[in-house]
Amino acid sequence: MKYISTRASSTEPTEPRVLRGFSDILLEGLAPDGGLYLPVAYPKVSAETLNAWRSLSYAELAFEILSLYIDDIPPADLRALVEKTYTAEVFGGHAAITPLTPLAPNLMLEGLSNGPTLAFKDMAMQLLGNLFEYELGRRGETLNILGATSGDTGSAAEYAMRGKHNVRVFMLSPLGRMSAFQQAQMFSLQDENIHNLSVEGVFDDCQDIVKAVSNDLDFKRKYRIGTVNSINWARLLAQVVYYFAGYIQATQTNNNQQVSFAVPSGNFGNVCAGHVARMMGLPIKHLVVATNENNVLEEFFRTGSYRVRSSAETFETSSPSMDISKASNFERFVFDLLGRDGDRTQALFGRALAQEGAFTLTADEFAKIADYGFQSGRSTHADRLATIRTTFEQFGVLIDTHTADGLKVAQELREADVPMLVLETALPAKFEATIAEALGPDVKAPRPAALADLESRPKRFQVMPADTATVQRYIVDHAPV
């Protein structure tokens, strides 16, 4: 399996598309032309194969799916990495790893938050940490990971990479824009290879710095810069697995049953994994993109216009991991939507966004969205409170704020005869203030005993301006060549 950039030109015969192997793009992250990597074609999974996978454990299922995309890691080594990652011990004692919780007929939650940091990001990040350590050891190299987080990516990455050989993590987060729990998860880590940089701005400022550093090819190569954000294909690939796992659990023996997924969305990585699963042949009827007040994606799927927001226009909400106004993974879907036309993708993402901060699809391009099964909806703070309250009162299930966004939109769009799976984002313990606002101070969101004193632990972080050069200087000082 080879990979191409979403911005690779296919019109110039003297400049053929550059093909890369999985292990190279694992360490590289963003493509040199500023695009994102995708496989040259999505492998197809037949109904017979899907049916045969029903008896597999989560780790076995992950191996089968990953094997379709990874051919430069020996199968025995890949299997060992996957089996090391997806264990009940790592994921909260759940043998299924991603168990389903029924709420109503054909409406259920898929539990993705049983990992070490209590968020769905663990599903991919735990594997990514093991893949990085394996590949760097095989090459005898080091890697400096530069990432941006709006809440959960940072802690998931840092917990996955702490203590890993030959890996340093530099994680950017928006100053004061995460919950106290999320912030403490990251800043309380004292490992020498973990560096938390608190940026005076919003998440999009952090993400812009990561992309700017990745686009400085000389700096990137000299200081061995990689990424764990969902612009890294390996992370998105790992997320594809839980769509298959959720489908198998929801449909039992009915191999032809369609299902829909509702996905709380900010950076488009989570739902993009669903798009990949659907392209592989998983019978997904709808992928429901659920946003909060920062509804850039909801607006696009409704109108065909994509307009990023400035920092001043980006709302600070009670579902902070979705306070994103520039969805970096969105380019992958648009590339597919445009018939994999790298020149057109470059025109939209490389020029129009850079110059005007927006683009609008043509009428013909917009009409094609229906072929991909996407729907969208929006949720507000009042909606979150109401959804948390009614879910707890009616079903006895406590959900976090982001999952509430997904569930609210799912209930609006679900069909009676199609199972709707809402992807859980995090455990409610990470958002205690909003849980108390919704349910009153007497309802406490449970947290693991090991995290009981999390917020009171000593914190280690560095505040800095939203400036690429300042971040680069910090990396130079703390990651010698």
Supply the residues annotated as catalytic.
121
DSSP structure string for 313-378: TSPP-SSGGG--SS-TTHHHHHHHHTTS-HHHHIIIIIIIHHHHSEEE--HHHHHGGGGGTEEEEE
CB 171 within 8 A of CB 195: yes
Strands 305-307 and 358-360 turn out to be antiparallel
Q: Could you write out the three-class secondary structure of 31-51?
A: CCCCCCEEECCCCCCCHHHHH
Nearest CA to 420 out of 24, 108, 64, 65 is that of 108
Residue 80: how many other CB atoms lie within 10 Å: 14
* Cα 64 from Cα 87, distance rounded (Å): 16
Whole-angstrom Cα distance, residue 370 to residue 437?
38
Sign of torsion, CA 183 186 189 192?
A: negative
* CB count in 10 Å sphere of residue 61: 21
8 A C-beta contact, residue 229 and residue 146: no
223, 481 Cβ separation under 8 angstroms: yes
The answer for 217, left when phi > 0, alpha when psi is -120 to 50, beta otherwise, is: alpha
d(CA 223, CA 226): 9
